Amino acid sequence: MIRYKLRKIIDGTGLLFLRLSVRRKKIDTDISLKIKMPVKDWANETQLPKNIYDKRPRADLGGMSYAQLAEMLMKIKRLLIAAEQDGTLNMELARKIIHNVISGEVADDVSKADQVPDVFQMPDAYLEPQPQQRKQTFMEFVEQYISECESGERTKTRSTKRMASSTLKRYRGVQEQLKEYQKKRHCVIDWDDITLDFYDDLKQFFIRKDYSPNTIALTIKVLKTFLYAARDMHLTTREDFTSRKFSADWEQVDNIYITQERLDEMADFDMSSYRKMKIRAEKYAKDDEERKTLLHALRRDVYRRSLSEARDVFVMGCLTGQRVSDYKRINADMVETIVGDRKFLHLVQLKTGKDVYVPYFDTMKRILDRYDGELPHVYEQHLNERIKVVGLLLGWTEPAGLTEHKGLMEYASEKRFCDAIKTHTARRTFATNAYKAGVPLSAIIAVTGHSSEEMLKRYLKLGSKERGLLAAEEFDKVHKAM
């Protein structure tokens, strides 16, 4: 790990250090760069001064500008990474690299290599600035960026929190998509290639693969995240990706929700008896193959118990309106009494860090009591799989009535209702049922933690009449304000 940090020393001033940690070399130390600067001007997320384009000389930096400081820090890091990659990095070499860059004694070209004082001589590979030897390719940077996110060197923007595992998984997925693009197009993506023409070709590539519009939009969003980070590190000067044209439109996703009546049915569903489940499996399975697979699994008590556990975790999500990462970890220790005997579940959302209080009802208590106050651990993938089986055994096998997009095509999905249930259905179910019960949007937001009413409305699964009523409420607000 090679990372900069600014230690506050006095009166808002900090001292720059380089954190060097190389396990295979048993190196783990901080090296002072003997450079002081205002703490307020340092950006932890980029490990550079906040204004890296400021070319004004600064007295506190001995006449050096922030732009020059940023260039110097990036040069040191590039040289150290190069030394680490070929296995020559040690403490002596690290200190020589740092000294020579700071003192301006690293050669700008091969002809100047002899001007470096003997006492600071280094292997020839590190005397010439790295960009002139071989500039880091775009895909190399992507790998470095993701690795730094995974190790915790890079954190969330304007935060010290590490990236969520789902975010890292998404980054790796986009990386693989870009690798496939290179393979199919017989090319290597270079910095100067990332133009609006490249964007159009990449988008067409995904369309031909029948990617949905939202999958394409998400991929472009992650790609731009990589590119903004690269620009901050002066690895690219192209600005095409900042254009409004360099973005894909998101489409409203057609999803289901579970009515309150069905939710009550699911919560009370007893799956302990193999004989009863066998009858339901034979009745509702779509074909012999599904029937055979299901009957084989249902014979085992442990499988039927796992279905009940997945059902309870999912119902907890439907009752609380939280994301799966939050409702999976609900436990009795989160229960708090605020006023009188009114109880709430108090939790801090993992994704946003928002502090929310969820009204605590008897059904929630019964579920937690069933497991001594701690919900059973179920992996999200298993939860997605098992809750579909629960829906099937309940007989929810009618067409889901969804519209799906693949590439440029839009068509009616053949999915059964039970097959359309997934972990995120719980959050949509809570929001829709609460709104239909007359709970104001502002009160629903207080529980779900959505950033705005507009974002919440995307979750509401409403019919035409209900959407009309929602629109009427908005018009009423306008008329009252007039």
pLDDT digits (tens, 9 = 90+) for 143-174: 999 998 888 888 877 677 788 888 899 999 99
3-class SS at 415?
A: coil
CB-based burial label for 402 (10 Å; 0-12, 13-18, 19+): middle
Strand order across the 2-10 sheet: 2-10, 13-22, 27-38
Euclidean distance between CA atoms 405 and 393, whole angstroms: 28
Beta-carbon contacts of 344 under 8 Å, excluding residues fewer than 6 positions away, are: 335, 336, 337, 338, 357, 358, 359, 360
Euclidean distance between CA atoms 315 and 144, whole angstroms: 40
Write the pLDDT tens digit of every residue in 414-438.
Answer: 889 999 999 999 999 999 999 988 8
Q: For residue 63, which of 71, 73, 55 has the smallest C-alpha distance? A: 55
What global pTM score does this model have? 0.59
Q: For residue 184, which of 170, 204, 169 has the smallest C-alpha distance? A: 204
- How much is the average pLDDT of 88-95? 84
- How much is the average pLDDT of 456-464? 70
HSE-CB for 351 with a 13 A CA cutoff: 12
Q: For residue 254, which of 465, 441, 458, 470 has the smallest C-alpha distance? A: 458
Euclidean distance between CA atoms 27 and 24, whole angstroms: 8
The neighbour count for residue 252, using CB atoms within 10 Å, is 7
When comparing pLDDT for 404 and 227, which is higher? 227
CB-based burial label for 166 (10 Å; 0-12, 13-18, 19+): middle
Instruction: Give yes or no for a contact between 150 and 172, defined as CB atoms under 8 angstroms apart.
Output: no
pLDDT greater than 90 at residue 195 = yes
Euclidean distance between CA atoms 24 and 1, whole angstroms: 11
| Phi-psi region at 409: left, alpha or beta (left = phi > 0; alpha = psi -120 to 50) | beta
Beta-carbon contacts of 400 under 8 Å, excluding residues fewer than 6 positions away, are: 256, 413, 415, 416, 417, 419, 420
Euclidean distance between CA atoms 257 and 321, whole angstroms: 12
Q: What's the pLDDT band for 117 if we cut at 50, 70, 90?
A: very low
Q: For residue 34, which of 99, 91, 81 has the smallest C-alpha distance? A: 99
Euclidean distance between CA atoms 314 and 421, whole angstroms: 10
pLDDT greater than 90 at residue 122 = no
Return the pLDDT at 353.
83
Return the pLDDT at 202.
93
pLDDT greater than 50 at residue 127 = no
Q: What's the pLDDT band for 108 if we cut at 50, 70, 90?
A: very low
Euclidean distance between CA atoms 327 and 350, whole angstroms: 10
Q: For residue 76, which of 38, 34, 118 has the smallest C-alpha distance? A: 34
Q: For residue 46, which of 130, 148, 132, 115 has the smallest C-alpha distance? A: 148
User: Dmax of the chain from CA atoms?
Assistant: 87
Give alpha helix (H) positions in 371-436. Answer: 380-393, 425-436
Write the pLDDT tens digit of every residue in 63-81.
Answer: 888 888 988 898 888 888 8
Q: What is the dihedral of CA 254, 260, 262, 266, to 10 degrees?
A: 110
Instruction: Give yes or no for a contact between 58 and 64, defined as CB atoms under 8 angstroms apart.
Output: yes
Contacts within 8 Å (CB) and 24+ apart, 180-186? 181/205, 182/139
- Mean pLDDT lowest among 63-72, 336-345, 404-413: 404-413
- How much is the average pLDDT of 353-375? 94
When comparing pLDDT for 482 and 101, which is higher? 101
pLDDT greater than 90 at residue 312 = yes
Q: For residue 263, which of 346, 402, 383, 363 has the smallest C-alpha distance? A: 363
How many residues are present in the chain?
482
Beta bridge partners of 337: 343
